Amino acid sequence: MFHLLLRGTYPTAHQCEELRQRLAQYMQEVPDIVRQTIFNLPRKTSPLPLILAGLSAYLACIPDVIPATANATIYQTHIKRADQVILQTVAAYAVVFGAVRSHRLGIPWRSPSLHQTYYENLFTMAGLVDPETNRPDPTRISCFRRFGNLNAEHGMALSVFTTLVTASSLTDPVSCLISSVAAAHGPLHFGATESAQRALHNVGEPSNVPAFIEEIKAGKQKLFGYGHRTYKGMDPRVRPIQSILKDLTDVHQPLLKVAEAIEEAAAKDEYFSTRGLYPNADFYGNFVFTGIGFEPEMIPAAMLAHRIMGIMAHWREYMGKEWLLEVE
């Protein structure tokens, strides 16, 4: 998917393997000070400032990628250099993500492996491994990858728009990603998935759904994960997400029953249908992340591990004016 978004073509087996190796290599080359920066901050800190701190520390270690410092037209005149820094940025985000989760949970850091995929290394560094094999669970990797195919690119979303605003001054991709992370965490963007999870927790039981629906209609509650700026009907990503959830049935998720009860009640209520309010990807997507093993507060960061591919493709297009494939 990453190669497809960047280049607009399906990769060959050789290209896939080359991309995997380069991402793994760049993960190993991320300076230790990046993790140390994160580990020196309070463990109870929200993931957002920890991620911003980690990415900022990484950027401070590679001043040669900053156009204002090195070469103002470095990325417009050298597309191969742009491609290299894109991969370094994606690799650095994976390391930062893993360090943030490890630090917040107080679990040992696990280094990336040259023999694993991007998602496998992401899980390994984040501590999402089978205690017996010390490797990520294949089913959960598959679910994360399939969900990533739905999340990697979604047009001119806020995270992309913020990236392009920052890129308009010919800024490097790490700086653009930092601005994108800050924008994406709000409850009206990637934070909506985390907010949806917390709202469902407050509802508690399916039996409480009718009262919750009435409070929404009265303007006393907000239903996160419903409605979309683009889709006036059902978000086409919802049913594939529900299909992914079928592979995570070994995980007890009582709030999923609450979500299904809300959808059933809203489908029968004209208040929602007349306003074009239907579930979007955030409504059920949070259960994919929690089913895999991520904590609710890590959901926006996990979503960015998917969307970073589309974000970098937009940045590349802006710098090189090359083709970008949009996934409808």
Residues with a known catalytic role:
228, 282
In the prediction, which pLDDT does 323 show?
Answer: 41
The rounded distance, in Å, linking the Cα atoms of 28 and 23 is 9
In tens, the pLDDT along 138-189 reads 999 999 999 999 988 877 888 899 999 999 889 999 999 999 999 887 776 6
Biggest alpha carbon–alpha carbon distance for the chain: 62
283, burial (CB in 10 Å: exposed 0-12, middle 13-18, buried 19+): buried
Q: Which of 97, 103, 322 is nearest to 112 (CA)?
A: 97
CATH of segment(s) 190-290: 1.10.230.10
In the prediction, which pLDDT does 276 show?
Answer: 87
Tally of CA atoms within 13 A in the half-sphere of 205 that contains its CB: 2
In the prediction, which pLDDT does 192 show?
Answer: 67
In tens, the pLDDT along 183-213 reads 887 776 666 667 777 788 889 999 999 999 9
Flag whether the pTM goes above 0.85. Answer: yes
* Helix/strand/coil (H/E/C) assignment for every residue in 19-75: HHHHHHHHHHCCCHHHHHHHHCCCCCCCHHHHHHHHHHHHHHHCHHHCCCCCCCCHH
- Which CATH superfamily groups domain 1-177+308-325? Citrate Synthase, domain 1 (1.10.580.10)
Residues of the chain with pLDDT under 50: 322-328
Determine the straight-line distance between the first and last CA of the chain, rounded to whole angstroms: 14
CB neighbour list of residue 98: distance below 8 Å, 6 or more residues apart: 109, 110, 112, 121, 122, 124, 125, 126, 127
Domain extents in the chain: 1-177+308-325, 190-290
